[in-house]
Amino acid sequence: MLPFMKLGLNRKTGLNRFLTSWKSPEDPTPGNCSYRIDPTGYPQLLLYKDGDPYWRAGSWTGDRWSGVPEITRAYIFNISFVNDPDEVSIMYGVIDASIITRMVVSESGSVRRSTWHDGDRRWIEYWFAPKDQCDFYGNCRPNSNCNPYDAGQFECTYLPGLEPKSLGDWNLGDGSAGCVRRGGVSVCRSGEGFVKVARVKVPDTSKARANMSLNLKECKEECLRDCSCTAYASASESLGGSGCLTWHGNLIDTRTFADSGQDLYIWVDAIELARYRKTRSLSQKATAAIILVSIFTALLLASPFLYLLVIKKRKGYNGICVVVSETDHRSHNPLTIKDRDDGPRGNRDVPLFDLSTIASATNNFSVLNKLGQGGFGSVYKGIMDNGLEIAVKRLSKLSGQGAEEFKNEVRLIAKLQHRNLVRILGCCVEEDEKMLIYEYLPNKSLDAFLFDKTRRSLLDWRKRLEIASGLARGLLYLHQDSRLRIIHRDLKASNVLLDEEMNPKTSDFGMARICGGDQIQGNTNRVVGTYGYMSPEYAMEGIFLIKFDVYSFGVLLLEIISGKRNSAYYHENPSSNLAWELWKEGNYEDVIDESMGDSCSKEEALRCIQIGLLCVQEFADDRPNMSAVVLMLANDDVALASPKRPACVFKSKHHGTNLSASDGTASLNDITVSTVEGP
């Protein structure tokens, strides 16, 4: 579908315009997938597969579809939506006539948007759906909500006033029975009310009632008057909200979004309403008390140090971070800092600890507290005065990671919040010391298990699959769902940390790069990273793409399956990739780590090997994006393409790099390089 084409139904003539997939990549006859507007109830846009709803873009909210919050009128489109007695239709124009864009429905069941890049003479994909398990229609069944952001947890949650129909199945991660009203049927008009559920895709509107003349307050009153009403929401989110949608039965296909979405108001009886009000009241009172005490304490303790702050500024203090408030140097309490170069907006305060506090917590950086050694310094375990366990990354004074990388890591991690990304607690900048303080993760890094002959058996197949899926979700957050668009550039097993439940957390953001909202690549003359995990376009030409991380993830996924470092896949001729050769010959079982024993599902392992090989294809355009990877890992029904030969990065371009070799095998793992090329 190209710009200015119309999708929808002419109600007078019955002409229905919709998008249909090909039967196969080689057969252009109509396939089994279609993308069309459903005019029943309140119109919505759906992707159908084999005649059944497969993914729901949702209803029109005034500037976007409710299930696609990232694509709005302000994106690159002039969007025209019409819903009147004559027709219901959508037409996407483009703001800039020089932009060539298209939308395609694939035979496997996905909708993809891409733009034509004239310089490279290729289509660049910028959006894809469905992207996670919560996008699949009705994934969590009636009256429940799907939340994909809590890795390792059951994604289905029950809505206010409701409970699982089968609690036993629900606790086992099976929500197929859906949810029902708690306590049976409640009495109508007896003090009932509504509980707001924020940032959601509102339920299926095919049976919803719409009244565009009502505002949100009137919509609430309308729902209260009707004893069959189960929920309400604003029909249009633009201009402060207008129009009224009410549901009168089961709520189907509701999901949570990370940063946007609509507010949905769920009907609850008087008992449930009182419970929610009490919980909210207690929370508000506790929050208010904490804020008041914190403000008073901060003012009391900060005043003696304001003089020091003034002196530092007069002396031209050149530290990376500027102190804006301080607490007692003798305690473990942090100093609050902000990055001077970030400006006043959009920053999240990062605690700054003084050197004596960190030295005390780590027993003066004792060898006994040392957790490991990295390319930029050492990592130590510490225990604060209040018993909090921390991990301290102490940068070597001879380290190549200077002020810029340090500042970059602090700035990035402070703004990121995801279950599968390591959490920063603060930093220390004093004298010539630069340190980062993280949450302590007791199981250390993934490589300590994966490549250890005795400990690797602790990672059964299910746990390895959970680790891979968690890492994929974390990367998807970086690439698409966070407020920033970030390329990590150094994903590898040693940079994946494991918490007490073996949940993975990506760490080490010193090499990460922020891209603009629509930027998908950049260039550098300073090549940094680890051979074996580097994409070829980056290692050879200094071009870093979003697909850089996809390549690294593919390498890591193959390591997780095999229990071998990626160097094991390179023989004397590094262009021959063992995993690829074994898969191509049908001997994929030789790739699977034998230590997993009977816990390994051969079918799932084969699928994951294929996903890994798709990620390490030579050309970035052939690699899937992380939304597709998450989808492929989560859903066995998603068809997989046949991978092309993987890339190989030759070392000859990077002069002066010492690669160790033994027994005729080049070791390409964990060699951090920093190469500057110029005229």
Residue 618: exposed, middle, or buried by beta-carbon count in 10 A (0-12, 13-18, 19+)?
A: middle
Residue 188's pLDDT band, with cuts at 50, 70 and 90, is confident
The full set of domain ranges for the chain reads: 6-131, 144-268, 281-317, 319-439, 450-676
The answer to whether the bond into 130 is cis (omega within 30° of 0) is yes
User: How distant, in Å, are the alpha carbons of 99, 123, 462, 556, 618 from that of 119?
Assistant: 13, 11, 44, 32, 19
d(CA 386, CA 380): 18
d(CA 417, CA 419): 7
d(CA 424, CA 442): 15
pLDDT in tens, 82-109: 999 999 999 988 877 888 889 999 998 9
Mean pLDDT of the chain: 78
The count of C-alpha atoms lying within 13 angstroms of the C-alpha of 134, restricted to the half-sphere facing its C-beta, is 24
**Contact yes or no for 126/115 (Cβ under 8 A):** yes
**Contact yes or no for 446/467 (Cβ under 8 A):** yes
Q: Is the pLDDT of residue 654 over 50?
A: no
Residue 491 phi, psi (nearest 5): -75, 125
Residue 604's pLDDT band, with cuts at 50, 70 and 90, is very high
pLDDT in tens, 394-443: 887 655 555 566 766 776 777 777 889 998 888 888 878 889 898 899 88
First to last CA, the chain: 45
Residue 408 phi, psi (nearest 5): -60, -45
Q: Catalytic site residue 490? A: yes
Q: How much is the pLDDT for 104?
A: 95
Residue 324's pLDDT band, with cuts at 50, 70 and 90, is very low
When the candidates are 1.10.3210.10, 3.40.640.10, 3.30.465.10, 3.30.200.20, the CATH number that belongs to 319-439 is 3.30.200.20
Q: How much is the pLDDT for 339?
A: 41
Q: Is the pLDDT of residue 659 over 90?
A: no
d(CA 566, CA 71): 38
**Contact yes or no for 429/381 (Cβ under 8 A):** no
**Contact yes or no for 268/229 (Cβ under 8 A):** no
Annotated binding residue 393:
yes
**Residues above pLDDT 70, as percent of the chain:** 75
pLDDT in tens, 23-46: 988 899 999 999 999 999 999 999
Contacts of 541 (CB under 8 A, 6+ apart): none
Q: Which of 73-77, 517-521, 546-550, 591-595 has the lowest mean pLDDT?
A: 517-521
Which 3 state secondary structure label does DSSP give 429? Answer: strand
Residue 136 is given by DSSP the state B
d(CA 243, CA 24): 42
Give the best-scoring range by mean pLDDT among 313-327, 387-401, 660-674: 387-401
Say which CATH class 450-676 falls into: mainly alpha
The residue annotated as part of the active site, out of 135, 253, 269, 490, is 490
Q: Is the pLDDT of residue 666 over 80?
A: no
Nearest to 253 by CA among 235, 274, 231: 231
Q: How much is the pLDDT for 76?
A: 63
* Kind and range of the H or E run holding 583: helix 578-584
Per-residue pLDDT, averaged over 501-520, amounts to 75
pLDDT in tens, 333-381: 343 344 434 433 334 457 888 899 999 999 998 888 888 776 677 889 9
Residue 298's pLDDT band, with cuts at 50, 70 and 90, is low
Q: How much is the pLDDT for 420?
A: 92
Q: How much is the pLDDT for 574?
A: 32
Q: How much is the pLDDT for 311?
A: 39
Residue 114: exposed, middle, or buried by beta-carbon count in 10 A (0-12, 13-18, 19+)?
A: middle
Q: Which of 353-367, 515-529, 608-622 has the lowest mean pLDDT?
A: 515-529
d(CA 604, CA 539): 32
Residue 71's pLDDT band, with cuts at 50, 70 and 90, is confident
**Cβ count near 176 (within 10 Å):** 11
**Contact yes or no for 478/419 (Cβ under 8 A):** no
Residue 552 tokens, joined? 């690294």
pLDDT in tens, 466-489: 999 999 999 999 988 877 788 888
Q: Which of 79-88, 317-326, 476-485, 670-679 has the lowest mean pLDDT?
A: 317-326
Give the best-scoring range by mean pLDDT among 12-26, 171-185, 232-246, 348-362: 12-26
Contacts of 345 (CB under 8 A, 6+ apart): none
The secondary structure of 350-410 as a DSSP string is EEE--HHHHHHHTTTT-GGGEEEEETTEEEEEEE-TTS-EEEEEEE-TT-S--HHHHHHHH
